[in-house]
Structure 1
Amino acid sequence: MSKYINSISKKFYAYIAFHSYSQLLMFPYGYTTDRVENYDDMVSNFNRM
């Protein structure tokens, strides 16, 4: 999947995958506890759903 996405990366802006395990909202980055720059914006947008 990674190779395919890289091969068409200029054709899209974002890749979103929905999974049903544990009903958790997880967004970048899963490998660290550091928050992304736009963390508050992302949380605000997800809370609207």
Structure 2
Amino acid sequence: MDTITSDLVITQNDQVGHYCQLHRDLADAALTTADSLDFLAIVAENLHRTG
């Protein structure tokens, strides 16, 4: 795992499992590609209108 100042290597199963679960949780919460594009289009339009 990269950190701001160094790399961290995690090899113990209980620690790796924790990060695997975090990754799954993030993936589950992420927008789909289509939803991401829609969101970015809305943000861009709002920025354009408000300058």
Q: Kindly indicate which of the two structures has a greater share of residues assigned to helix.
A: 2
TM-score w.r.t. length of structure 2: 0.26
Radius of gyration: which is bigger?
A: 2
TM-score w.r.t. length of structure 1: 0.26
